[in-house]
């Protein structure tokens, strides 16, 4: 058996605007992972067992399924490596909430591709893997910026601009965050389409929002790299307000953001596609547990404490 895994991710600043060429900051959450196990089997064919992902089991590859992200990942790996194989089973399991802004789709594809390459005895560079997972992301998102696959494949904090080589993001001091999960799955594809509709309806107003987000990301990058978390919190909460104006927040997300701030967080915002999924709160080691508790009291189904270094 060969096993591989890949982490979840959070977007610190700049989601949605990143689709339109603005920069964004993102980081892996290495404590939450998707795992793929590849096992040789006696029956011919490739089957993917993915109970948690609501996939019909098993997913056969003998028919031309290219609208299935898991099957497409396998297909792309076989094409890229020039290998043919059958008689194997891929078992997936994951700690990452699905459709919640944490990059579950990209993490699963990355884990499958890595485990399959290991099983086939071939290596794939991170760059090639990143491109492959981006192809699969198009099924999930329609028009992805590429930030999810990049931060997940490289498993490093990044300053990301669509179409450019990502730059590393190096915090001067550790950034402490609490992630609050609304427990409400939401489609990133729909949220991205919603922003597109706003943009088409009022391009001038939405361009102003993007310009402010661009400035926030630039300032946040500098604060992170010089180590001034209190001011970073103000930028985070402002980024949330701008995401609300883009229509991608939800009552649950707004409620959790307010609860985090009231409990002493330095700042808070939704993270990822929005309309559900997760939010993040900037905390200090002293306020972490009070903020996590306040989030759970305010309806978060789960809280995760994480540190970006
Ligand atoms: O996968 P999610 O929900 O974290 O969304 C990714 C971030 C977006 O900016 C909303 C979309 C994109 O492709 O960058």
pLDDT value, residue 46: 82
CA dist 46 and 156 (Å) reads 32
pTM of the model: 0.94
Cβ count near 264 (within 10 Å) = 15
Distance 119 CA to ligand 1 centre (A): 31
Is 88 close to ligand 1, i.e. is its CB under 6 Å away?
Answer: no
Q: What is the pLDDT of residue 62?
A: 54
Q: What is the pLDDT of residue 291?
A: 98
The pLDDT score that the predictor gives to residue 72 is 87
- 94-to-36, 73, 97, 113, 178 alpha-carbon distances in Å: 9, 17, 8, 15, 20
Model pLDDT for residues 1-49, shown as the tens digit of each residue: 899 999 999 999 999 999 999 999 999 999 999 999 999 888 777 888 8
Stretches where the chain sits below pLDDT 50 are 56
Helix/strand/coil percentages in the chain, nearest 5: 45, 25, 35
Q: Ligand 1 center to residue 286 CA distance, Å? A: 31
Cα-to-centroid distance, 15 and ligand 1 (Å): 6
Residue of 147, 186, 189, 239 to mutate, ligand 1, most atoms within 8 A of C-beta: 147
Six token digits for residue 80: 């890229």
For the Cβ of 150 lying below 6 angstroms from any atom of ligand 1, the answer is no
The domain ranges of the chain are 2-160, 171-308
Q: Which CATH number is 2-160 given? A: 3.30.230.10
E strands along the chain, which residues?
A: 2-13, 24-40, 46-49, 88-94, 158-160, 167-168, 175-181, 267-271, 278-283, 302-308
Query: What's the pLDDT score for residue 55?
Result: 56
The answer to whether 242 touches 233, Cβ cutoff 8 Å, is no
For β-strands 88-94 and 46-49, DSSP reports them as parallel
Are 2-160 and 171-308 equal in CATH topology? no
Assign domain 171-308 to its CATH architecture. Answer: 2-Layer Sandwich (3.30)
Cβ count within 10 A of residue 25: 25
Predicted pLDDT of residue 56: 47
* Residues involved in catalysis: 148
Distance CA(242)–CA(229), nearest Å, equals 20
Which tokens belong to 237? 């909460």
For residue 165, the 8-state DSSP code is P
With a 6 Å cutoff on the Cβ, whether 283 touches ligand 1 is no
Q: Does the CB atom of residue 148 touch ligand 1 within 6 A?
A: yes
The alpha carbon of 202 and the centre of ligand 1 are apart by a number of angstroms equal to: 21
In this structure, which residue's CA is closest to atom 14 in ligand 1?
145
Q: Residue 69: what pLDDT?
A: 86
């Amino acid at each position: 058996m060969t096993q591989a895994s890949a982490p979840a991710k959070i977007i610190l600043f700049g989601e949605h605007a990143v689709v339109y060429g603005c920069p964004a900051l993102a980081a892996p959450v290495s404590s939450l992972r998707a795992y793929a196990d590849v096992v040789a089997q006696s029956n011919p064919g490739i089957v993917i067992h993915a109970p948690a992902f609501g996939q019909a089991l098993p997913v056969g590859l003998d028919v031309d399924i290219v609208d299935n992200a898991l099957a497409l990942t396998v297909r792309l790996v076989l094409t890229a490596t020039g290998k043919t194989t059958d008689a194997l089973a891929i078992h997936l399991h994951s700690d990452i909430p699905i459709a919640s802004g944490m990059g579950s789709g990209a993490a699963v594809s990355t884990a499958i591709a890595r485990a399959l390459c290991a099983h086939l005895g071939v290596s794939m560079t991170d760059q090639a893997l990143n491109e492959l997972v981006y192809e699969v992301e198009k099924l999930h998102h329609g028009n992805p910026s590429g930030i999810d696959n990049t931060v997940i494949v490289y498993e490093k904090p990044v300053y990301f601009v669509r179409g450019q080589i990502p730059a590393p993001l190096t915090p001067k001091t550790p950034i402490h965050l609490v992630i609050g999960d609304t427990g409400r799955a939401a489609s990133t594809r729909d949220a991205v389409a919603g922003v597109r509709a706003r943009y088409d309806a009022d391009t001038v107003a939405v361009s102003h929002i993007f310009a402010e987000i661009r400035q926030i990301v630039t300032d946040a990058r500098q604060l992170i790299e010089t180590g001034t978390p209190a001011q970073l919190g103000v930028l985070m909460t402002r980024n949330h307000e701008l995401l609300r104006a883009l229509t991608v927040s939800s009552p649950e997300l707004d409620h959790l953001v307010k609860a985090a701030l009231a409990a002493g967080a330095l700042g808070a915002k939704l993270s990822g596609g929005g309309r559900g999924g997760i939010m993040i709160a900037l905390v200090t080691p002293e306020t972490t547990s009070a903020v996590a508790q306040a989030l759970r009291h305010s309806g978060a189904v789960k809280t995760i404490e994480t540190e970006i270094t």
